[in-house]
Amino acid sequence: MTPLASYRRLLLIAGPTYVLVAFVGRLPLAMSQLGTLLLVSTATGSYGLGGLSAGALAVANAVGAPVAGSLADRVGQRPVVLVQSLLGATGLAALVAVVGSGSADALVVVTAAATGLVLPQVGPLARVRWRPMTRATGAHQRRLVDAAFSYEGAADEASFAIGPALVGLSVALVSPSGALLLAAVLLAVFGSAFALDPSARLAHDADHPVGTGRLLGAAFVVLVGAQVSIGMLFGATQTGATVLATDAGTPGVAGLVHATLGVGSALAGLATAYVPERIGHERRALVAAWALLVLSLPLLVVDSLAGTAATVLFLGFAVAPYMIAVFSLAERVVPPARVGAAMTTLASATGLGYALGSSVAGRLADASGATAAFGVTVGATVLAVALMSTQQRRLRTASVADLPPSTTPTDVRTPTPVRASR
């Protein structure tokens, strides 16, 4: 089955309504971080506080998502995601009210953190549903789930292109508060629809019995670090673009500039379905990490929004291949009953990295401008290269450790997981 045929088959299996709901349902998380950064920094005039608030939201989400993922593995996604969607929408609206009332900095940060704690990770949980949805395809299931992973990687990246773009348009047409209120409405409607979709019950009943197993093995810890590095890249790049756009008098353009990262990444994500199966995911992650480093270096010399947008577009071509490889490896190194927890943990690691990257980049930008913020981006890619260069054997061994003697490495449990947060 060709990759294109696999994509068509997946659409027939899931249905266009589910695909739409699962995609739009992940936009609010993609909007919340940049929306918070712009809302707070515009209202207070401090990139440091803006970065701290956005980082607090991301860190809290990083803490809450694995808990929600583990709970979803036990009781099902439907009740967990429904409660998260409604509470998250309320939290985003409350953050707008707190900032608008001129409340103390501490209250702003606490409100952002409380909101992040309950925001659902729709992308990772959507990945978990593909295995049970494709079970009836027999011999084609492995190829279909591989294609589903490539699609989900592209969908995550597209959401982090469209999300910031929606923030930018909302800021330009209305205000930063309008951007977060739009995110709240989308979460209440589409997050709830994702929770109530029949696939949520199917995933729990058919493929997610309550089980035990070790989650934090050495290989999985390496993959968590890999996602922290990519999260740092997201946070620092977004902060640097915000500084350039604000200095140019057009803060709303920051979302559009950062969206180009997701455009390049989404295209590359779809293309990963064409990579030969004989090339292991650990090798793909290594190549992608080096590409991230090389493609991020021009950010140290760009000084215009146009130059930044072009650089970020090409940088995006390495992002999705890197993340798809990491998530695919993670699914293979954890027990089947812990896949939901593993996927949300990796998404949380991305959010943690975002918090670290945006906070450090924001403080450096306050002192030295956008170039200092982009220096954090380059540093994050160096971390990715170091991890993937030194841990190839560990990842390769762990991903095939549970194979029966007659099984080849490509027959290992096919990825069924998931965005991240950024």
Task: Answer yes or no: are the C-beta atoms of 37 and 168 closer than 8 Å.
Answer: no
Q: Are 422 and 33 in contact (CB under 8 A)?
A: yes
Amino acid in position 155: A
Using only the alpha carbons of the chain, give its radius of gyration: 20
Provide the pLDDT for residue 119.
94
pLDDT for residue 102: 82
Query: What are 196-232's pLDDT values in tens digits?
Result: 998 888 766 544 454 455 667 788 899 999 999 999 9
Q: Which of 255, 122, 233 is nearest to 180 (CA)?
A: 255
Residue 246: its pLDDT value, please?
81
How far does CA 414 lie from the centroid of its chain? 20
Angle formed at CA 293 by CA 292 and CA 296, multiple of 5 degrees: 80
pLDDT of residue 308: 87
Query: Which stretches in the chain have pLDDT values below 70?
Result: 1, 203-215, 252, 255, 336-337, 399-422
Q: What pLDDT is recorded for position 359?
A: 82
Q: Where are the domains of the chain?
A: 3-411
Q: What is the spatial distance between Cα 270 and Cα 151, in angstroms, rounded to a whole number?
A: 6
Residue 24 sits at φ, ψ, to 5 deg, of: -65, -30
Report the topology of domain 3-411.
Answer: Growth Hormone; Chain: A; (1.20.1250)
- Which two tokens mark 402? 């549970």
Q: What angle do CA 202, 206, 207 make, to 5 degrees?
A: 105
Burial class of residue 50 (count of CB atoms within 10 Å of its CB; 0-12, 13-18, 19+): buried
Tokens of 403: 């194979």
pLDDT of residue 421: 42
